[in-house]
Structure 1
Amino acid sequence: MSSVNVSFSQNISIVHPQYFFIIGLSGIPHSTYYYIFLFMIYFVTIFGNSVVLLVIALHQSLHSPKYIGVFNLALADIGETNALIPNMMRTFLFDSQYISYNACLANMFFVFIFSSLQSVTLLVLAYDHFIAICLPLRYHAIVNNTSMVLVFPAIWAFNSSMVALMVSLITQLSICESNIIQSYFCDHGPVYSGIKVIVGFVITSLYLNTPMVIIFLSYLGIFLALSRITTWERRLKALKTFVSHLLLVGIYFFPICFTYLAQLLHALTPNARVISTSLAYVVPPMLNPIIYVLNTAEIKILL
């Protein structure tokens, strides 16, 4: 049994374990091949997103609202990948499944902050495309570099505050039942214990369901605007302007929604749940820069 740190305040004791055991990947057959695959994903993700960051930063022609959003998405991709994969690789290389209490909270914070930034950035990019197609004459008045430079720091500040608040709730809880986490990182479910349903609902509603619904409504408006364009040539030209974003949204939201739905229906074994969930979080950051390089003429020309 693990030792615990106990603090006393006004006759109320709060029990914190000194460490947690992350055992989600330990039971996967032939896990060596999966870890090799994760290392390849890590290398491609860091390299691809770093290239996107450098290209946007060094070329004045890409200093536009759209690419400010793409720049922020690449930062979030790198951050989430560094928050997830190195810890999983540490477990494999050093056969170390434990993580200290404070390190667990830090891991949870960074995974949630960068994942939420991905979701909200996709929402901002959807808004950018909605204004460009539905209100083209007012686009530069509504969406410009100044507004984007103000929006994204505000998003970072808001997300950081919300995630920090959620994570800080753990410090006010006693964790007495178990210090074993059936996941691939310090997930909120196994740690939050009794209030995990409430916290899980808040997180998924704020950073998954709400952005997804708003993006869907923006796409609905875009398709209605496209239907009013008389010629197919002009319609296809307008459609090409946001096809890369459509792919990014599908790659990010569909795997996560499928995984959560399968979990609710109890259609996944524990090993399948861990693998599907981890892939849903680590594969989109790898594909995002590839999609933008292949589908964006401005970046392809510069490369």
Structure 2
Amino acid sequence: MDLNFSIYTTSLTLETLDIPLSFIFPSFLIGILTYCTILVFNMAIILTIVFNKKLHKPMYILLFNMPVNDIMGSTAFFPQLVSSILSQNRSITYSACFFQALLAHVYGAGSFLILTAMACDRYIAICFPLKYNTLMTPNDLVKIITIIWTIDFTMFGLLFAVTYRKEICSTKIVDMFCNNPSLIKLICDDTRLNNYYGLFTISFHNGLLLLIVIFIYFQILMTVVIKRQSDAKSKAIQTCGTHLIVFLYLEFCAAFDLLAHRFETASPNLRRATGASVMIFPPVVNPLVYGLKTKEIRQSTLFFCKKFSKKQKGKIRRVKK
């Protein structure tokens, strides 16, 4: 007979990290440095776009949502991870685990939605340049951003509302961090509704966005080939190629994680590594790919840093006098 645990009084246990004692502090230090790097890189992009009026354009306003989303995802993952590395305590309350899982899924879905919106922006700019200012007005941009976050929070808010239970039959989370499939495995009752709704939501969401992005990039590629503009062609291929690689990487990880939780033969270590990589690599890579690699943002960031450095030097000189 299964034991029932109340979510209000029972702590959950995350998958052990199996870090040798001699590697605990180095692992903790790497985790802290990685998290700080993510915060610094992404905040640099955010502040650059906010304080430079030249970057208040549709492309950069859409891009602004990416570092915000990445900071949310990394904050859901890293603080709990590094604290458990240092304390060697992998316990977590149900409410904290539930909140971490919700933020992790909102971050993942947000990445897909933002990348798709950015692809649509590039599609209009490259394929319909004369109509760009008409189609991408400030009001339209506000609507796009509102739709992105509304879909994101509504879709996964409903998913986790279905997952929430007051009683569970297990306290073991089978991943490095909390997520919806791991929470479902704790439930005592019939979870078919959870599985069907979760499978439909993620498959429909990711599948539809993948088709949209592939169609958009095919149209962009055809446009630059027909125009025979070598500069535009190389720039479009470089931008869209990088964009597509990041998108397909997220698609692969999401699909693998979805299937791995449903097939016992799937490697649990590979599943955990794939899930953790989604929380680590995109927040580090995205500022470099979409921010510092973009000429306008790179120049603005360097100008901002130089201006800040001059102010600090001026303050030091005045103090010395």
Please indicate the TM-score interval, normalised by the length of the shorter structure: 0.7 to 0.9
Kept in 1: contact 2:102–2:179 (CA 8 A):
no
Query: 78, 81, 84: which is aligned to 1:88?
Result: 81
Determine the structure 2 residue equivalent to 1:18.
10
Post-superposition shift, 1:202?
A: 2.9
Post-superposition shift, 1:212?
A: 2.0
Q: Deviations over 1:227-269 (max 9, x none)?
A: 2113434433444554553454355444545666777787863
Higher alpha-carbon deviation: 268-277 or 151-160: 268-277
Whether 2:101 is the aligned partner of 1:108: answer: yes
Q: Deviations over 1:144-172 (max 9, x none)?
A: 33211222123222321221111111235
CA RMSD in angstroms, aligned pairs only: 2.9
Greater C-alpha radius of gyration: 2
SS in 2 for 1:180: coil
Determine the structure 1 residue equivalent to 2:68.
75
State the alpha-carbon separation in 1 of the partners of residues 9 and 208 from structure 2.
34
Letter aligned with residue 43 of structure 2: S
Letter aligned with residue 38 of structure 1: G
- What's the TM-score once normalised by structure 2's chain length? 0.80
State the alpha-carbon separation in 1 of the partners of residues 230 and 222 from structure 2.
14
- What does 1:30-179 correspond to in 2, within 5 Å? 32=24, 34-172=27-165, 174-176=167-169, 178-179=170-171
- What does 1:211-250 correspond to in 2, within 5 Å? 211-240=209-238, 242=240, 244-250=242-248
SS in 1 for 2:85: helix
Post-superposition shift, 1:4?
A: 2.9
Structure 1: runs of 5+ lacking an equivalent:
6-14
State the alpha-carbon separation in 2 of the partners of residues 267 and 36 from structure 1.
34
Quickly say closer, same or farther: Cα 1:36–1:267, change in 2 above 3 A: farther
- What does 1:249-260 correspond to in 2, within 5 Å? 249-257=247-255
Quickly say closer, same or farther: Cα 1:187–1:231, change in 2 above 3 A: closer
Sequence identity (%):
24
Kept in 2: contact 1:125–1:245 (CA 8 A):
no
Post-superposition shift, 1:286?
A: 0.8
SS in 1 for 2:12: strand
Q: Deviations over 1:193-249 (max 9, x none)?
A: 333532441342244332222111111111121221134344334445545534543
Quickly say closer, same or farther: Cα 1:122–1:22, change in 2 above 3 A: same
- What does 1:260-279 correspond to in 2, within 5 Å? 269-279=267-277
SS in 2 for 1:20: strand
Quickly say closer, same or farther: Cα 1:270–1:34, change in 2 above 3 A: farther
Kept in 2: contact 1:65–1:145 (CA 8 A):
yes
Determine the structure 2 residue equivalent to 1:9.
none
Structure 2: runs of 5+ lacking an equivalent:
186-190, 303-321
Quickly say closer, same or farther: Cα 1:273–1:258, change in 2 above 3 A: closer
- What's the TM-score once normalised by structure 1's chain length? 0.84
